[in-house]
A and B are shown apart, each in its own frame.
Chain A
Amino acid sequence: MEYECPACGGSLTFDSKSQKIKCPFCDSEYEISQFEENDGMNWEVRPGSQWDEGEESSMEVYSCNSCGGEIVCEDTTVSTSCPYCGNPVVLKGKLSGMLKPDYVIPFKLDKNAAKAALRRHVSSKKLVPALFKDENHIDEIKGVYIPFWLFNANVSANMNYRGERIRSWSDSKHNYVEHSYYDIYREGNVIFDNIPVDGSLKMPNDLMESIEPFDFSEAVEFKKSYLAGYMADKYDIDAKDSIDIANNRVKTSTEDIFRDTVGGYSSVIPQSSVVNLQHGSAQYALYPVWLLNTTWQGNTYTFAMNGQTGKFIGDLPMDKKAYWKKFRMMAGIFAVIGTVLAAVIDYMFV
């Protein structure tokens, strides 16, 4: 196995005296861990806790015949339609086989706030078909507790970069550009708290990531009474299957935050990056989300609002006619302005 020196490109050798990897050409020294190719990202997962006696039996599971979605309601809440597809749901039986969530962030914004946010969302966008604005059934918006895996981790990482500084000057005959190259190394730790990863198969990950962030400081220990009047989803992706998403986000953020500590260069090129997780753990929590599905011209458009912060998202269809109409109008106006400007500039330089 041969390693290349990140500084000069020479072949590295192990130096027994310093117990480090050393470059015989430029005398740079490196930690052995720097040349371990794999990031060590191991998690300790604690998937929820056990229910208190009698708690589980007062929860009912409804199932949707159309999309197969399963939702959980407290027995005082009567659920009639599926939050994912809008079709009727049927009572399947008492809850069983699901672990109790560790935490819940209670709904902070009510249905009226969600309806107002949806109206604002649609009316603030141009190019939305007029028909769409009339057709949406905003009264159908539903509050659903979505299961999330929360990942916590202490991360230790080391990064190597190649930096370049450029200085230029000139005399009467020549221009000079000086390129100076630097070997940059950063090693350290950073802590991540409660990175949420959606644990529901029916809930698209991009939709749930779009309404982030949730403020975990407002989370409380789970009690079933928080479910009253709302629906809840059961997790059907377990923590282990959600880890890859959390790992990628941790790695990206760690690289970003380390990169931000490197300054004063005109260009910085990463050479190597090693990210190791320590004390990685996952917890199970329910987060509040307002959901609405609208079917238009055969397609389903899902809108979601963060029930804690009010952040509202949802892709809207585009009216192609409105698009081209606006394009022609804008092109006409700016072509005239552009021509006048071009002629004026032309005139001024003659």
Chain B
Amino acid sequence: MRKQILLIAVSVFLIIGFFTVSVTAAEAGSGKVLCLDSAYCVKSDEDLAALNDKLNDISARQNCEVVIYTTNTFDGKTPTDYADDYYDASGYGWGKDKSGILFVINPQSRDWAISTCGFGITAFTDAGQEYMVEQMSGALSENDYLTAFNQYADLCDEFITQARTGEPYDNGSLPGEEKDINLAVDIIIGLVIGIIIAFIIVGTDKAALKTVRRQADANNYIRSGSLRLTRQHDNFLYKNVDVTERESSSGSSTHTSSSGATHGGSSGKF
């Protein structure tokens, strides 16, 4: 009997403990405004709230804050500087190294900028950012900001998950550059390989039937060691050098914001 009471007591204690931790985590996750829509790009409040929840969920799950900010002015700064400063000033970022990514949109000037920090720099390579903006460009050009922001959130989630494996999406390994299994293509490739190899084999057999050939040279009749060179030279004439640019490098480039923090990022027009 005492054993049973002890068991129940321990169970109750564990359940209460679990809920306490869950509630704390939930509060921490939903406490922040991760999409601040100063330029009113998202028309409906419900959509904005849902988007915020989504960003909070991703940020908490990934330990890396995913942030969106819309503004009608860059206060005279470059989009990149503005994004960096906004990120630093608003105290975004997860953990000590302030891991996170910020996407700033100016619907007036049609500029965008991305600022990354901490693990965000690792997860979002230059090529990765370019890929993300490319994915959003359709929605952005139609001023369908809600769709673009949702795409951004999903892409960030995917990119961070990928980066946790130790191999962030980069040049040559972006999502679109992967191969899908396509059996039809494989069969066609197999058929072509089969036909080519079969032709080589029967071609070899066919060629073996012909043994009568003219002799173009008289190499067999050169008296061995009879070659004597009486004069020879190898004179250098001139040289030229072809220079070509190397392909764009992979990885994330970084810079330092006005507050002295290290950021990755990029910017452009849409």
Contacts and interface: CB of A to CB of B under 8 A. Distances in A.
A317 B209 contact: yes
Contact of A181 (B179, B229, B238, B245): B238
Contact of A339 (B187, B195, B208, B232): B187
A336 B190 contact: yes
B227 A335 contact: no
Given A334-B194, A336-B190, A350-B179, A174 B246 contact: yes
Contact of B217 (A174, A186, A256): A256
Interface stretch (B41-49, B71-79, B144-152, B218-226): B218-226
Interface stretch (A51-59, A84-92, A245-253): A245-253
A253 B222 contact: yes
B228 A192 contact: no
Contacts of A190: 222-223, 226-228
Interface string A302-345: 00000000000111111000010011111111111111111100
B42 to A, nearest CB: 36
Nearest to B201: A330
B230 to A, nearest CB: 5
A185 B182 CA distance: 57
B69 to A, nearest CB: 35
Contacts of B237: 7-8, 26, 181-183
A256 B219 contact: yes
Contacts of A343: 181, 183, 186
Given A178-B241, A192-B218, A126 B205 contact: yes
A173 B187 CA distance: 42
Given A326-B202, A334-B197, A349-B178, A188 B209 contact: no
Nearest to A168: B242
Contacts of B194: 330-338
A334 to B, nearest CB: 4
A257 B227 CA distance: 8
B198 A170 contact: no
B189 A177 contact: no
B237 to A, nearest CB: 5
* Chain B binding surface SS class: mixed
A112 interface: no
Interface residues of B, number: 60
A303 B234 CA distance: 48
A193 B198 contact: no
A350 B201 contact: no
Interface string B40-70: 0000000000000000000000000000000
A128 interface: yes
Contact of B179 (A128, A177, A313, A349): A349
Contacts of B191: 331, 335, 338-339
A193 B230 contact: no
Given A128-B209, A335-B190, A350 B180 contact: yes
A31 to B, nearest CB: 8
A80 interface: no
B221 to A, nearest CB: 5
A210 B231 contact: no
A315 B210 CA distance: 5
A58 B199 CA distance: 57
Given A183-B235, A330-B201, A331-B198, 12 more contacts: A158-B231, A173-B246, A174-B246, A175-B246, A190-B227, A253-B219, A262-B234, A316-B209, A330-B198, A331-B195, A342-B186, A350-B181
Interface of B: 178-183, 185-187, 189-195, 197-199, 201-202, 205-206, 208-223, 226-246
Interface of A: 7-8, 26, 28, 121, 124-128, 158, 163, 170, 172-195, 204-207, 209-210, 212-213, 246, 248-250, 252-253, 256-257, 261-262, 313-318, 323, 326-343, 346-347, 349-350
18 contacts: A126-B205, A173-B245, A186-B232, A190-B227, A194-B221, A195-B218, A206-B212, A206-B214, A249-B217, A252-B218, A253-B219, A261-B229, A261-B232, A323-B206, A335-B194, A337-B193, A338-B189, A346-B180
Nearest 3 pairs between A and B by C-beta?
A: A339-B190, A335-B194, A338-B193
